[in-house]
């Protein structure tokens, strides 16, 4: 379950490699089987030590299904660059990906507020300190769950290389290389009901500046 069989040279087996991929992304896909059918949904997440924190509505039946202990898998992928080779066959992408498998557990209600703050701060560091605390009603309506990271329950795969040089190039002497890709924060756009003289909070300003 935790072995990469194809292109094994791209596998990473050290735990810091897993943490690096998980900490670099904010969205992953949670998958399980519900009533004999595959169920996959993209979700925001945060890593908290040896577990992945997720949350959703208590009314989501499939989320309750995995929260009850159904086997699940969580996948994260980062596209780092487009690899432009001499042929389409040899063109590819540089990427980092991780898959964590296991059984989710419901986070203790006494810890739910901490989990939700951590999820928020993983997207906008420091944001939780700028707003009021979650109300009891909000916490009751939110299902916070954790996927433990066990030693035998994850895989990481990375490609970080230029294109291979091919013998039968379609364009001898043509260009080949890598086009790096990255996600950056743009200028914040205020909601229509926010007064023009109200500035974005410090956490948003730091996010935009990349601090």
- Predicted confidence at residue 16, as pLDDT, reads 97
Identify the pLDDT of residue 169. 62
**Which DSSP state fits 169?**
-
Q: What six digits make up the tokens of 107? A: 């986070």
**Which regions of the chain does DSSP assign to beta strands (E)?**
11-12, 27-34, 37-44, 46-47, 51-57, 71-84, 92-103, 105-106, 142-148, 154-159, 177-180
- How much is the pLDDT for 10? 80
Domains of the chain with CATH codes: 8-162+187-209 (2.30.110.10)
Q: How is residue 18 written in tokens?
A: 């897993």
Terminal Cα distance for the chain, rounded: 38
8 A C-beta contact, residue 112 and residue 91: no
Report residue 43: phi and psi, to 5°: -145, 145
> Which segments of the chain have a pLDDT < 70?
1-2, 5, 60, 168-172
pLDDT of amino acid 208:
95
Which pLDDT does position 171 carry in this prediction? 66
Write out the H or E segment, with its range, that includes residue 64: helix 61-67
Q: Write b or e for each residue in 27-49: b if 16 or more Cβ atoms lie within 10 A of its Cβ, otherwise e.
A: ebebbbeeeeeebeeebbbbbbe
The β-bridge partners of 175 are none
> Distance between CA atoms of 163 and 165, rounded to whole angstroms?
6
Q: What is the dihedral of CA 58, 47, 98, 2, to 10 degrees?
A: -90
**Which helix or strand (DSSP H or E) is residue 203 part of?**
helix 202-209
CB atoms within 10 A of CB 89: 9
Non-local CB neighbours of 197 within 8 Å, separated by 6+ positions: none
């Amino acid at each position: 379950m935790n072995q990469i069989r194809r292109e094994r040279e791209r596998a990473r087996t050290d735990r810091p490699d897993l943490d690096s991929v998980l900490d670099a992304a904010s969205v992953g896909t949670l998958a399980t089987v519900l009533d004999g059918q595959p169920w996959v949904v993209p979700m925001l997440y945060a890593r908290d030590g040896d577990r992945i924190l997720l949350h959703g509505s208590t009314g989501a039946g499939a989320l309750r299904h995995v929260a009850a202990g159904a086997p699940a898998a969580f996948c994260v992928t980062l596209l780092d660059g487009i690899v432009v080779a001499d042929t389409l066959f040899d063109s590819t992408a540089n990427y980092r990906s991780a898959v964590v498998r296991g059984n989710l557990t419901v986070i203790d209600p006494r810890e739910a507020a901490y989990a939700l703050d951590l999820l928020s701060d993983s997207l906008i560091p420091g944001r939780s300190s700028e707003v009021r605390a979650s109300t009891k009603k909000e916490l009751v309506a939110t299902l916070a769950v954790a996927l433990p990271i066990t030693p035998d329950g994850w895989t990481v795969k990375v490609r970080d290389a230029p294109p291979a040089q091919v013998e039968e190039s379609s364009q001898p002497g043509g260009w080949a290389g890598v086009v790096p890709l990255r996600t950056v924060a743009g200028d914040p756009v205020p909601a229509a009901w926010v007064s023009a003289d109200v500035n974005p909070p410090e956490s948003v300003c730091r996010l935009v500046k990349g601090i």
